[in-house]
């Protein structure tokens, strides 16, 4: 069966074929998710070459261990967990992973935090071009510690649910909420600091 003929097939059916040794079916899974996995890896590692390595390693491990995927969750959630693990291993090898455990339960007030961030929308876009605004946000995200960044990227950029994010990262739901809140608050602080300042020296605070 050609890859093009698999494009409209339900994910579970494609995974089932791949588990039976159909390399074309696995190629279709790669086609569907390689862009997202690469983007995720680049967000976590902050390095294009490392992200390319993570992408390859992720799909190699997924292929090798496909029999371990039981179908209890989405295939994408499963492969995201592999990708995050590979990306964090890259960071540990570079000795830059300084993450701390933040598994305590916290009442997040997620909607309130999101509204406060979203409320900045119009005014900054009147002052800066979309490219500049995007660069500021990227810089702020890059400054987050890796495990904060992983949660933020999966939850707010890739738009996984809190439960899916928890499963992908091997965390409890309260841990995800805790880290997500802290990530959002850190971004809020960094962006507020930036937009309150005038002139080129504002970038020194990002």
pLDDT tens digits for range 150-203? 899 888 888 888 998 898 888 899 999 999 998 888 888 877 777 776 454 444
Residue 34 in tokens: 């390689």
pLDDT band at 29 (very low <50, low <70, confident <90, very high): very high
CATH topology of domain 110-205: Arc Repressor Mutant, subunit A (1.10.10)
Is pTM beyond 0.95? Reply is no
Residues 6+ apart with CB under 8 A from 17: 1, 6, 24, 25
Read off the pLDDT of residues 77-124 as tens digits, 9 standing for 90 and up.
899 989 998 988 888 887 644 444 333 333 434 444 333 333 344 444
Confidence (pLDDT) at 130:
56
Q: Which residues contact 152 (CB under 8 A, 6 or more apart)?
A: 141, 144, 180, 183, 184, 187
Where are the CATH 1.10.1740.10 domain residues in the chain? 3-93
Give the count of beta carbons closer than 10 Å to the beta carbon of residue 139: 14
State the pLDDT at residue 105: 37
Tokens of 29: 């899974």
Residue 9 has φ and ψ, to the nearest 5°, of -80, 145
The pLDDT assigned to 8 comes to: 66
For domain 3-93, give its CATH number from 3.40.50.11060, 1.20.120.400, 3.90.1300.10, 1.10.1740.10: 1.10.1740.10
Question: According to CATH, where is 1.10.10.10 located in the chain?
Answer: 110-205
Per the CB < 8 A criterion, the answer to whether 28 and 3 are in contact is yes
């Amino acid at each position: 069966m050609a890859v093009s003929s698999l494009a409209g097939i339900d994910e579970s059916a494609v995974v089932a074929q791949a588990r039976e040794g159909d390399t074309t079916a696995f190629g279709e899974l790669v086609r569907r998710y390689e862009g997202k996995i690469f983007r995720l890896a680049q967000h976590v590692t902050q390095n294009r070459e490392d992200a390319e390595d993570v992408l390859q390693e992720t799909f190699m491990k997924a292929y090798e261990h496909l029999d371990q995927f039981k179908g209890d969750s989405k295939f994408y959630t499963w492969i995201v967990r592999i990708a995050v693990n590979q990306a964090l291993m890259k960071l540990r090898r570079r000795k830059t992973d300084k993450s701390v455990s933040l598994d305590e339960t916290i009442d997040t007030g997620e909607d309130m935090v999101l509204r406060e961030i979203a409320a900045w929308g119009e005014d900054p876009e009147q002052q800066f071009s979309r490219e500049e605004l995007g660069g500021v946000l990227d810089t702020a995200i890059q400054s987050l510690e890796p495990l904060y960044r992983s949660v933020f990227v999966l939850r707010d950029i890739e738009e996984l649910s809190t439960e899916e994010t928890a499963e992908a990262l091997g965390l409890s739901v309260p841990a995800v909420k805790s880290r997500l809140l802290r990530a959002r608050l850190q971004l809020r602080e960094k962006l507020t600091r930036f937009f309150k300042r005038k002139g080129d020296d504002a970038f020194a605070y990002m």
